[in-house]
Amino acid sequence: MSSEKRREEVVRYWWSKAEESLLSAQREIAAQSLGFAMNRIYYAAFYAVSAALLDRHASFKKHSGVRSAFHRELVKSGQLDITWSKFYDRLFEDRQEGDYLALIDFELDYVKDQLTRCQEFLRTLRPLISTLSGKLGT
Cα(40)–Cα(112) distance, rounded to whole angstroms? 12
- pLDDT for residue 137: 45
The pLDDT of residue 134 is above 80: no
| R_g over Cα of the chain | 15
Q: Is residue 54 a contact partner of residue 14, using CB atoms and an 8 Å limit?
A: yes
What domains sit in the chain, N to C, each tagged with a CATH number?
3-129 (1.20.120.330)
- Encode pLDDT of 95-119 as tens digits: 999 888 888 899 999 999 999 999 9
pLDDT digits (tens, 9 = 90+) for 24-77: 999 999 999 999 999 999 999 999 999 999 999 998 889 999 999 999 999 999
* Residue 99 to residue 36: CA distance in whole angstroms: 8
